[in-house]
Structure 1
Amino acid sequence: MLQVSCGGCALLLGPSVRSSQLCYVGRGWRTASTACKHARDTGSLPWEGVVGLEVHAQINSASKLFSSSQVKFAAPPNSTVSFFDASLPGTLPTLNKRCIEAAVMTGLALNCAINKKSLFDRKHYFYADLPAGYQITQQRLPIAVNGLLTYRYPTGKKWSDMVTKCVRIKQIQLEQDSGKSLHDDFMRQTLIDLNRAEGQLRVDANISVHHPGEPYGVRTEVKNINSARFLARAIDYEIKRQTDILNNGGIVQNETRAFDYKLGATIPMRDKEGKQDYRFMPEPNLPPLILYDSKTLPRNIDAGQVINIDLIKEMLPELPNITRERLVEEYGILPEHSFVLVNEDGLKEYFEAVVKMTTADPKKIIGWVIKNLLGYLRQENLTIKQSLITPSALAELVTLLENKVISSSAAQQVFQELCKGGNKTPTLIVKEKKLGLLDSEQLEGICQKIVDEHDEEVAAIRKGNLKVMNKLIGLVQKASKGRTDPALAKTILEKKLQL
């Protein structure tokens, strides 16, 4: 289990974490400028929220951090428990190399400084889900410290109105996961599952409010939030609750709370009468964790038996912000398109595969991928991997359009056929449904017929109302069932009208 601790983030209080330009003043949310004016007029000050997060994330490994027991999601209770996991006397922890590598990679991804020497500690507390009476963690010298996560979000309707924010990462530490308490209200008993490592993500949010420039307020801790959406709702509610208490002359209690997603509210769990004494002490059964880089790696050590920070850095995949910048620079697409490609699992790879299989401009391809393909997938509730339209099929369709084999309207018809599945290629669909562009002789005939049958429109165009030309082009498209190039149809019509 990885625990990532984020530094306190000051927020001008708004209806969500992202809305940092709103303040909670009196009985409602106001813009920052309005709040400041309200504060000057009434002599009051807006509240400012401070949020610190402890993110507990499961490491993707085959076995546990300190034992060889298998990590298996939703396994039957207590079916993957070793003697050490059960805290039998005389059992010792064995550190999992894969977990260390994952922790280092996480630290590098979050721009942390990796400590070449880190220590393990015992954190003592007595609860049923921890049979040993202590938890192995890193309190004195964790594996990574002082990181920074930079992100961007829109502040208006336009994607160009983007604001860059930074979150400080205090530390990343390796930590033994506690067991899971299963409360049976009917039987009035609590059962413990020591499989551990079953939760993919848990977040503890520490929240307080204060006036800008004044000391931080009393914080509450909202425990074990398991989704980003619930986290945002819990923070919103807790900030509102605390400001209401303070505005009414009350005192915020230092306590641990839980978020009830059904109520959309936080509820008390237990009071914190003071700082809990965990009686931290060095873990006697684990030596200091020593890491190396290429410069400090001793010659007489087997490279496969140690952790090389530089080697892990080379293995680090391209991070999302770098990917978005590369997509914009390499393909000339808009920043908002790069966000969609990165945020939809597998969509970036799909887009780049199509680009490699056609000479069409990527700026044209992105429209097909985001508007047509993604729209179809969402309508059918499918993932990218479940798409019936392969990258090669979309690339072939775009190529037919680029080479003026079909019109844009015919291309849409081909796309709809591809959505039905089957083994037919775009070329075969065009042939069977006769969707190819008409030759110039056929198009000449259709244009002449449209001109002959629409004297009123022809007269308007010759008097200078060129907008009416679009109507004639539409009629040509309709008559040809979408098998004409609008630009070529316009050229022929202008020639026949002697414009």
Structure 2
Amino acid sequence: GQAAERGIELDDCSYRYFILFFKSELVFPQFPVVLNALKLEISEVPVMNAAVNPPTELSKIVVGLEIHAQIHSNTKLFSGSQVGFQAPPNSLVSFFDASLPGTLPVLNRRCVEAAVMTGLALNCTINRKSLFDRKHYFYADLPAGYQITQQRLPIAVDGTLTYSHLGGRNRNTVVTKSVMIKQIQLEQDSGKSLHDDYRSQTLIDLNRAGVGLMELVMEPDMSCGEEAAAAVREMQLILQALGTCQGNMAEGQLRVDANVSVHRPGDPWGIRTEVKNINSARNLARAIDYEIQRQMFVLESGGTVQNETRSFDGKTGHTIPMRDKEGLQDYRFMPEPNLPPLMVYEACSTAPPGVAPSQVVVLEEVRERLPELPSVRRQRLVETYGILPEHSFTLVNEDGLMDYFETVVRETKAGPRKVIGWVMNELQGLLHQQNLSLSQSPISPQALAQILNLQENGQISSSIAKQVFQELWKTPGKTAQQIVKEQDLGMVNDSTEIHRICQKVVDSHPDQVQAIRSGNKKVLNKLMGLVQKETKGRADPVLVRAVLEQKTS
């Protein structure tokens, strides 16, 4: 109503935007005061759930991330218990995991190798000597009352993550940025607390307690949700390529905490809030962008941002207060007395004499096992096959799609650009339409290569090739050759037959023929379409064009 009194039209986007804020936990000033403070008309206010880049002249945004990556290992960090996501509750718990008196930690070499490999892939300095510490806090799912981590001297420091995302008006411009990696530290995961509201009970599952984690701490080098989401996706791809983390965020194998603050240019950094345990890259972008806008509203309306921990509600798109940090918790860090310093050696020759190779981690051996990283894959795809950068992103980001593409290229005479068109449009289109993963595709790369070879050999036309693709999708047990033979879809390239059909089309459309003879050559395409209609898409297009050009000249 007050907007109408001021002669401002409140469109649907603006309405949703302000309703979102007035439903939040904040107590805002009256509506006109908000508008005056922001110096914005309602129509200028961005939608809250969009990827927003707030104006830099009004505010500076600082975003940092902490990523907890569950190490892909058969056993836990300090015990021999198996690791399993779907195991029955409390079925994968050793005496050490349950913190029974007298039990001692035994470090898992695989977890150390995973941290070293991840550090090398992220251009980190690997500390030849790192230390373990106890971080004390009291939760029911942490039976020891402390977590073994690496606070003082972590295993890897000072790295960089280079990530890219598609920007520009048409989302086809590659924007490349870097974020500094402050450190990578090894630590234990906690158990799970399951809250039973019906019985007013909290149940504890210790299956996850003691599972090895890598905590990757990024410097606050980002400024919006889109950048943070792109960085996390790139990190996820790197970890999956290395095999050090499976990266399934839905199963908690990769968990992200975001630290967000807003300040005016020239002022000290603002008070930060932490948004905990975000479970997808999309929700990460949404949570950060919401939090940026929330803090901007608080500051512009004269309020103070609280130093607090918040969670993100994916249904509403809101961040919700969990607990404040005004009184910083004292974790009482102390050296872990039951673990010696963790030593990493440059080469086997530098390891202590008499130590078995299976008991040490050697940098040169880990370096030799580093695979091709996602950024290198994208560059190789563009340079080798001449495809567009945005296509290289899709091939690398979609699990197994790059191998599918390269298999088709190897087994067909068609060029890479033609193959990428089929993979991006026909294959991906049907997968997305039916909500299937690539592993569920009824058409193998070999089957797609057969279709393309039939087209390249002149046995079927391009339209028939798509028809065969659709038929193969419905009946995956058959081959492309069988479908072409059974349905009589082979190319019609008999010159006499093509001449007869073309003459029929020309005689039936004198106006179009006259238009072509008057110089409108585009009309020829219409006549070609009519010929293809007569032959149900089977006529050789090259021969058809040549005959029509002759008959309309």
Could you give the per-residue CA deviations for residues 337-387 of structure 1, whole angstroms, max 9, x where no partner exists? 111111211111111111111122111111111101111112222211111
Within 2, Cα distance between the matches of 1:148 and 1:194?
Answer: 34
Gaps (5+ residues) in structure 2? 1-16, 18-36, 212-250
Provide closer, same or farther for how the CA distance between residues 187 and 424 of structure 1 changes in structure 2, counting only shifts above 3 A.
Answer: closer
Q: 2:129–2:342: 8 Å Cα contact kept in structure 1?
A: yes
Within 2, Cα distance between the matches of 1:49 and 1:413?
Answer: 51
What is the aligned partner in structure 2 of residue 304 from structure 1? 358
Provide closer, same or farther for how the CA distance between residues 359 and 209 of structure 1 changes in structure 2, counting only shifts above 3 A.
Answer: same
What is the aligned partner in structure 2 of residue 402 from structure 1? 456
Q: 1:245–1:252: 8 Å Cα contact kept in structure 2?
A: yes
Q: 2:274–2:309: 8 Å Cα contact kept in structure 1?
A: yes
Q: 2:135–2:146: 8 Å Cα contact kept in structure 1?
A: yes
Gaps (5+ residues) in structure 1? 1-14, 16-23, 37-44
What is the aligned partner in structure 2 of residue 267 from structure 1? 320
> Map of 1:34-113 to 2, 5 A cutoff?
35=55, 46-113=58-125
> Map of 1:307-346 to 2, 5 A cutoff?
307-346=361-400
What is the aligned partner in structure 2 of residue 6 from structure 1? none
Provide closer, same or farther for how the CA distance between residues 353 and 130 of structure 1 changes in structure 2, counting only shifts above 3 A.
Answer: same
Q: 1:26–1:247: 8 Å Cα contact kept in structure 2?
A: no
Provide closer, same or farther for how the CA distance between residues 57 and 493 of structure 1 changes in structure 2, counting only shifts above 3 A.
Answer: same
Higher relative contact order (CA 8 A, sep 6+): 2
Within 1, Cα distance between the matches of 2:188 and 2:341?
Answer: 16
Q: Report the CA distance between 1:56 and its aligned residue.
A: 1.1
What is the aligned partner in structure 2 of residue 478 from structure 1? 533
Within 1, Cα distance between the matches of 2:369 and 2:297?
Answer: 49
Task: Say which is worse superposed, 285-294 or 197-206, in terms of deviation.
Answer: 197-206
Q: Report the CA distance between 1:91 and its aligned residue.
A: 0.7
Q: 2:81–2:94: 8 Å Cα contact kept in structure 1?
A: yes
> Map of 1:228-239 to 2, 5 A cutoff?
228-239=281-292
> Map of 1:134-145 to 2, 5 A cutoff?
134-145=146-157
Within 2, Cα distance between the matches of 1:118 and 1:158?
Answer: 47
Q: Report the CA distance between 1:300 and its aligned residue.
A: 5.0
Q: 2:46–2:52: 8 Å Cα contact kept in structure 1?
A: no
- Give the secondary-structure state (helix, strand or coil) at the position aligned to 1:72: coil
Within 2, Cα distance between the matches of 1:296 and 1:283?
Answer: 29
Q: 1:123–1:281: 8 Å Cα contact kept in structure 2?
A: yes
Structure 2 counterpart of 1:184, from 190, 196, 215? 196
Within 1, Cα distance between the matches of 2:265 and 2:497?
Answer: 75
> Map of 1:164-179 to 2, 5 A cutoff?
164-179=176-191
Structure 2 counterpart of 1:488, from 543, 546, 549? 543
Could you give the per-residue CA deviations for residues 104-146 of structure 1, whole angstroms, max 9, x where no partner exists? 1221222211112111011112222222121100011111111
The residue identity in structure 2 corresponding to 1:409 is S
Task: Say which is worse superposed, 153-162 or 482-491, in terms of deviation.
Answer: 153-162
Number of equivalent positions:
468
What is the aligned partner in structure 2 of residue 454 from structure 1? 509
Q: Report the CA distance between 1:33 and its aligned residue.
A: 11
Aligned-residue Cα RMSD (Å) equals 2.3
Q: Report the CA distance between 1:74 and its aligned residue.
A: 2.8
The residue identity in structure 2 corresponding to 1:48 is K
What is the aligned partner in structure 2 of residue 149 from structure 1? 161
Q: 1:389–1:421: 8 Å Cα contact kept in structure 2?
A: no
Within 1, Cα distance between the matches of 2:439 and 2:323?
Answer: 45
Q: 1:25–1:46: 8 Å Cα contact kept in structure 2?
A: no
Q: Report the CA distance between 1:212 and its aligned residue.
A: 2.0
Within 1, Cα distance between the matches of 2:113 and 2:369?
Answer: 11
Within 2, Cα distance between the matches of 1:356 and 1:301?
Answer: 47
- Give the secondary-structure state (helix, strand or coil) at the position aligned to 1:175: strand
Within 2, Cα distance between the matches of 1:422 and 1:255?
Answer: 55
Structure 2 counterpart of 1:194, from 193, 206, 210? 206
The residue identity in structure 2 corresponding to 1:262 is K
User: Does 2:231 match 1:219?
Assistant: no
Within 2, Cα distance between the matches of 1:100 and 1:293?
Answer: 14
The residue identity in structure 2 corresponding to 1:369 is V
Could you give the per-residue CA deviations for residues 205-233 of structure 1, whole angstroms, max 9, x where no partner exists? 22211112221111122222222222222
What is the aligned partner in structure 1 of residue 420 from structure 2? 366
TM-score (norm 1): 0.88
Within 1, Cα distance between the matches of 2:256 and 2:161?
Answer: 17
The residue identity in structure 1 corresponding to 2:262 is V
The residue identity in structure 2 corresponding to 1:460 is A
Within 1, Cα distance between the matches of 2:52 and 2:138?
Answer: 46
Task: Say which is worse superposed, 389-398 or 124-133, in terms of deviation.
Answer: 124-133
Provide closer, same or farther for how the CA distance between residues 317 and 470 of structure 1 changes in structure 2, counting only shifts above 3 A.
Answer: same
Within 1, Cα distance between the matches of 2:479 and 2:63?
Answer: 54
Provide closer, same or farther for how the CA distance between residues 403 and 238 of structure 1 changes in structure 2, counting only shifts above 3 A.
Answer: same
Provide closer, same or farther for how the CA distance between residues 339 and 456 of structure 1 changes in structure 2, counting only shifts above 3 A.
Answer: same
Structure 2 counterpart of 1:433, from 472, 487, 506? 487
Percentage identity across paired residues of the two chains: 65
Q: Report the CA distance between 1:279 and its aligned residue.
A: 1.5
Within 2, Cα distance between the matches of 1:423 and 1:341?
Answer: 26
Q: Report the CA distance between 1:324 and its aligned residue.
A: 0.7
Provide closer, same or farther for how the CA distance between residues 156 and 214 of structure 1 changes in structure 2, counting only shifts above 3 A.
Answer: same
Q: 2:443–2:476: 8 Å Cα contact kept in structure 1?
A: no
What is the aligned partner in structure 2 of residue 285 from structure 1? 338
Provide closer, same or farther for how the CA distance between residues 82 and 293 of structure 1 changes in structure 2, counting only shifts above 3 A.
Answer: same
The residue identity in structure 2 corresponding to 1:397 is I
Q: 2:174–2:390: 8 Å Cα contact kept in structure 1?
A: no
The residue identity in structure 1 corresponding to 2:58 is P
Q: 1:104–1:144: 8 Å Cα contact kept in structure 2?
A: yes
What is the aligned partner in structure 2 of residue 42 from structure 1? none
Within 2, Cα distance between the matches of 1:59 and 1:391?
Answer: 32
Within 1, Cα distance between the matches of 2:510 and 2:274?
Answer: 77
- Give the secondary-structure state (helix, strand or coil) at the position aligned to 1:56: strand
TM-score (norm 2): 0.80
Could you give the per-residue CA deviations for residues 460-490 of structure 1, whole angstroms, max 9, x where no partner exists? 2222222221122111111111111222211
What is the aligned partner in structure 1 of residue 304 from structure 2? 251
Q: 1:122–1:281: 8 Å Cα contact kept in structure 2?
A: yes
Could you give the per-residue CA deviations for residues 227-276 of structure 1, whole angstroms, max 9, x where no partner exists? 22222222122222222221122222222222233332222222223332
- Give the secondary-structure state (helix, strand or coil) at the position aligned to 1:435: coil
Task: Say which is worse superposed, 257-266 or 142-151, in terms of deviation.
Answer: 257-266
Within 2, Cα distance between the matches of 1:201 and 1:34?
Answer: 28
